[in-house]
Structure 1
Amino acid sequence: MVEPTSPTSGAAGPGGSARSAEPDRPAAAGASIRLDNLTKRYPDSQAPAVEDVTLDVAAGETVILVGPSGCGKSTTLKMINRLIEPTSGRITIGGEDVTGINPVALRRTIGYAIQATGLFPHMTVAENIALVPKMAGWPRAKVRDRVEEMLELVGLDPGEFRGRYPRRLSGGQQQRVGVARALAADPPVLLMDEPFGAVDPITRERLQDQLIRLQRELRKTIVFVTHDFDEAIKVGDRIAVLRDRSQIAQFDTPEAILASPADDFVAGFVGAGAGVKRLHLKRVREVKLADVPTATVDDPLETALHLLDAGSASADHLLLLDRERRPHSWLRREDLTRARSAEPAGEPLPLSAGTPVRSRIGVDMTLRDALEALLADGAGRVAVTGQDGAYAGVVDMSTLLNAMHGAPGERGAEEARPTGRGEPA
């Protein structure tokens, strides 16, 4: 019913974020959305809940609606799929006016994920995900294959999870099933109403990262409601900061809003520490990584000491990698010297030596994630891994400071990677 459209030149729309125009991203599978003078009045209220809102969302773009509680952002979202009927105005998806379409048929073409997941407790995970494809009349085999595909897409093993009931899932697992169900019928548009608001902060960060990864692969058009500005700048290509009645205070890229808030109201949402918040906008793979001497567990002690001696005068640590070239432990020169005195010549490096690597980050994580990992580790540096877990480089404070100040000559993790093993997503 609503056909996907592709944006021209891969742009994210007016003022579109560079994240939406990455050359390696596939063509958008989403559909453009336009809200034209959209208004919602309730009979028992003097003021409209939403008043005269006009907003354009490009195909394949993630637009965040952020604003204080009660400002009408969820009402605006629900009017797009007509869970709430607008009082006046038009909604077009892929150029088609949907205000005259049967609302039930419309909702089958739009994915919808909410804070409480909305999973049916009497249905298994597979039955929940299969619900809309079955209603759309898909063949049984196609539905079964789609359920398997969606579970794998959101990182849940089909064999383990397809037969479970929602009560046997953690909060994060339930949210992932909710996203899988929303995407099951391959809709061009995905609406998300504070989908990660009910989970703990660590799980929330992981779900945000997973959504970003999914969007890089799928290029749906996403409209996402949140009250958390940090979440908005991490997830969104563009952000609409809303006042009461969903009046738009500023609609721009996260970079532009952080650099130049339109007024005091928007500045209040940005809050303190705008420079640190900018770290949300860049991923580890986009910056020049530092490097340290590395050795594997099969290398002899003499080789490790030689690597330290051949490094810079300040090289006092070596990163020990396991046989899969994954970061294992940090070795100081004293650790190596002590191990050499206790082991016969030619013996490989002992796994028990040194300090275990407590924190590591992937190339698709943000620099804000890297900062938190660096502070938590306490070593002054944090190891970076590719998608397969293999060592790709190191982030230290110099890396972050250079990124914040736009140091010239930056190169991505793929170029800096010494092993060629871990490919970024």
Structure 2
Amino acid sequence: MSETSTSTASGASIELENLTKRYPGNPQPSVDNVSMEIKAGEIVIFVGPSGCGKSTTLKMINRLIEPSGGRIRINGEDVTDIDPVKLRRKVGYAIQSAGLFPHMTVAQNIALVPKMVGWGKTRIKDRVEELLDLVGLDPGEFHGRYPRQLSGGQQQRVGVARALAADPPVLLMDEPFGAVDPITRDHLQDELIRLQHELHKTIVFVTHDFDEAIKLGDRIAVLRERSHIAQFDTPEAILTNPADDFVSGFVGAGAALKRLNLTRVRNVEITDYPTVTVDDPLQDIFNRLRDSGTNEILLLDKRGRPYKWLRRGDLMRAKGSLARAGTLVHDTVTRDATLRDALEAVLTDNAGRVAVTGRRGEYTGVVDMETLMNSVHELLEADRLEAMEHQHELEEARAAQTHAEQEGDGGEKKA
């Protein structure tokens, strides 16, 4: 076998057939007769109230919890009766707080499953470096670190890398981003979307956060108690046509604004902005700002990442050094971020714009408030037209029913 580590395995279909879990002493099953088909290469989100059985259902797919009844098929193969340890090595698994082994380095954590399945040393080393690069961590910098030396977001990235290490077609994720701060969570969500564009795995993802479900899911399974499926559909369909009051409760108010989670920054206009770097002489920066025709300029660090916004007054007060001049860039978005992420970033910034960055955090452009508000107005207008059309259909249906009843009454009178 070649000692290269190119990721080749795309997603696999998953079928759950009458999947059930009963625990001794409990008269009701925790998961009751769940059937579902998940397509190869799609992200399916399980969302529901606490205790509804969503995590139990997820863990039965790789048999961390053994089913009491029913069948699980991955790519048509019934995995209910095969060795569960072998099954788990073929199914990636990522959990909240990463679950990394504290006594192992980052590289050792990622290499765990490839080592178990018998990969050679060179192949494992190449794979570790490939995956660290894939999740946006410099292999040279992070290879030998221990989990305690990482931030929460970095630990989660390593956790995802470890889950992908043996190139499994299926990735199970149990509230993987639930323990990190909101800004880090947004960036991790964007990273997962970007990874999925490259890898096309089948991902089953558990969350209690409906906004996260809308942002990440190709389809969402809204689960009631005992994992009964209330609705299993696309985010658009659930937002616009919730199946019942239970699903409506998850959608909540402001469905039109929630639809901002369905549109990505890459789908709107990203404008260029005048930039300079920290290595540029102060006079060159001043000239660039003067010639740009704008009131501010974006200062990039040595790696081309957004660092500070500089205004004319900042440069006048700089006195030969930019150390204390300008306003630090506190938030950025990627092209895979949602318009809701971008809108939140813009609203927290008095200047009404946010820098867009690439995979390594490098500057690629800017999205401003006007662009975002135009998108909001388009969504609201689309919702208004859809509501009018729905109302028109209802009125036509009522008129047809009234006409039919009148025709019926006329016939009875003649008789």
1:165 paired with 2:137, answer no
What is the distance in 2 between the residues matched to 1:95 and 1:105? 17
Change (3 A) 1:202 1:42: same
Aligned residue among 24, 30, 33 for 2:11: 30
CA distance in 2 between counterparts of 1:121 and 1:303 reads: 49
Q: How high is the sequence identity, in percent, across the aligned residues?
A: 68
Task: Say whether 1:255 aligns with 2:231.
Answer: no
CA distance in 2, matches of 1:167, 1:385: 28
Counterpart secondary structure, 1:70: coil
- Verify: 1:373 aligned to 2:345, yes or no: yes
* Worse-superposed segment, 380-389 or 120-129: 380-389
Structure-2 change in CA distance of 1:145 and 1:386 (3 Å): closer
- Work out which of the residue numbers 85, 90, 95 in structure 1 matches 2:66: 85
**CA contact under 8 A between 2:97 and 2:152: conserved in structure 1?**
no
Residue in 1 that maps onto 2:295: 317
> Is 1:329 paired with 2:329?
no
Q: What is the distance in 1 between the residues matched to 2:100 and 2:337? A: 29
Helix, strand or coil at the partner of 2:373: helix
Distance (whole Å) between structure 2 residues aligned to residue 404 and residue 193 of structure 1: 32
Which residue number in structure 2 is paired with residue 397 of structure 1? 369
The residue type equivalent to 2:77 in the other structure is E
* Residues 351-366 of structure 1 mapped to structure 2, 5 A cutoff: 359-366=331-338
AA aligned opposite 1:109? K
Shift of 1:51: 0.9
TM-score (norm 2): 0.78
**Aligned-pair CA distance for 1:263:** 1.2
In the alignment, what sits opposite 1:220? 201
Structure 1 stretches of 5 or more lacking a match? Answer: 1-25, 309-315, 344-349, 408-425
Distance 1:335 1:248, change over 3 A: same
Q: Cα distance, 1:380 vs. partner?
A: 2.3
The alignment partner of 1:187 has SS state of: coil
Q: Structure 2 vs 1, CA of residues 186 and 356 (structure 1 numbering), >3 Å: closer, same or farther? A: closer
Matches within 5 A, 1:209-358: 209-289=190-270, 294=274, 308=293, 317-320=295-298, 328-329=308-309, 331=311
Contact 2:193 2:336 in 1 (8 A): no
Could you tell me how far 1:215 is from its partner in structure 2?
A: 1.2
Query: If you compute each CA radius of gyration, which structure gives the higher value, 1 or 2?
Result: 2
Q: Deviations over 1:280-328 (max 9, x none)?
A: 2211111124567x475776867755653xxxxxxx6354566988765
Number of aligned positions between the proteins: 366
Structure 2 CA distance, aligned partners of 1:180 and 1:203? 17
SS at match of 2:230: strand
1:131 pairs, out of 100, 112, 135, with 112
Residue pair 1:330, 1:357 contacting (<8 A) in 2 also = no
Q: Would the aligned equivalents of 2:298 and 2:310 in 1 still touch at CA under 8 Å?
A: yes
Partner of 2:132: 151
What is the deviation of 1:372? 1.4
CA distance in structure 2 between the partners assigned to 1:116 and 1:351 by the alignment: 36
TM-score, with length taken from structure 1:
0.76
Structure 1 pair 102–155 and aligned structure 2 pair: CA distance change class (3 A): same
Counterpart CA distance in 2 for 1:136 and 1:323 is 42
The whole-number CA distance in structure 1 between the counterparts of 2:158 and 2:287 is 51
**Contact 1:110-1:188 within 8 A present in 2 as well:** yes
Query: Letter of the aligned partner of 1:135 in structure 2?
Result: M
Deviation at 1:246, TM superposition (A): 0.3
2:179 aligned with 1:198: yes
**Displacement of 1:381:** 2.6
Deviation at 1:93, TM superposition (A): 0.3
* Pair 1:101 & 2:86 matched: no
- Give the Å deviation of 1:182: 0.9
Indicate the structure with greater helix content.
2
**1:62-86 CA-partner distances (Å, limit 9, x unpaired):** 1010111110001101111111121
RMSD: 3.1
Runs of at least 4 residues off by over 4 Å: 295-307, 320-328, 350-359, 385-393
Q: How far, CA to CA, are the matches of 1:402 and 1:247 in structure 2?
A: 39
Asked if the contact 1:33–1:92 (Cα under 8 Å) also holds between the matched residues in 2, the reply is yes
Does structure 2 retain, via aligned residues, the 8 Å contact 1:63–1:240? yes
1:391 shift after superposition = 5.5
8 Å contact from structure 1 (residues 117, 178) kept in 2: yes
Q: Which amino acid aligns with 1:52?
A: N
The alpha carbon displacement at 1:155 in A equals 2.3
Q: Give the aligned residue type for 1:138.
A: W
